Amino acid sequence: MSDTNAFKAGSLLLLRIGTGLLLVLWGALRVMSPAAGPGLATKYYSGFMGIEAIQTAFGAAEILVGLLVVVGLGRRFAYPLQALVLVPGALMLWRYLLDPMGVYLLDRESSQILFFPSITIAAAALILIAFRDADRWSLDHLLAARKATA
């Protein structure tokens, strides 16, 4: 593997680990603190999926998808599912993305600069889909390579 391909594979590995663990952490929060999910849904997502049982089930699904993403297994399905969580999640925070400092859309007390990286996380989820074939250090790729040599 050339240095460029190794750099690309390593970069995609870091994106997988980062975005996948984010899903695992958010999912664990929803599962282990079921009351937290509806509160977040109400405050930041206009109450979308604000029922505790839905939040708990969604959290369990996030953990599963996140773990699949981290190891790179079932990428054909795991990556789009991850994007289905992360991209709309970022879009729902549009006010915080357009006005992270609370200058014109939000007041300074309700602004939240920590939401701004959501756009980067959403982009990372899309990059993983776009460059799935270059993700050479995924479990899917390693299993396919082993099968091809067997």
- How many structural domains are present in the chain? 1
pLDDT digits (tens, 9 = 90+) for 20-51: 999 999 999 888 887 776 666 666 665 666 67
Query: Across residues 123-139, what is the average pLDDT?
Result: 96
Find where tokens 């993305």 sit.
97
Residue 30: how many CB atoms within 10 A of its CB?
27
Domain span at 145: 3-149
Find where tokens 């604000």 sit.
50
Report residue 137 as tokens: 């250090």
Contact by Cβ (8 Å): 40, 84: no
Q: Percent of the chain scored above 70 by pLDDT?
A: 90
Show the 3-state SS of 93-137: CHHHHHCCCCCCCCCCCCCCHHHCCHHHHHHHHHHHHHCHHHCCC
Q: Give the chain's largest Cα–Cα span.
A: 62
Global confidence as pTM? 0.87
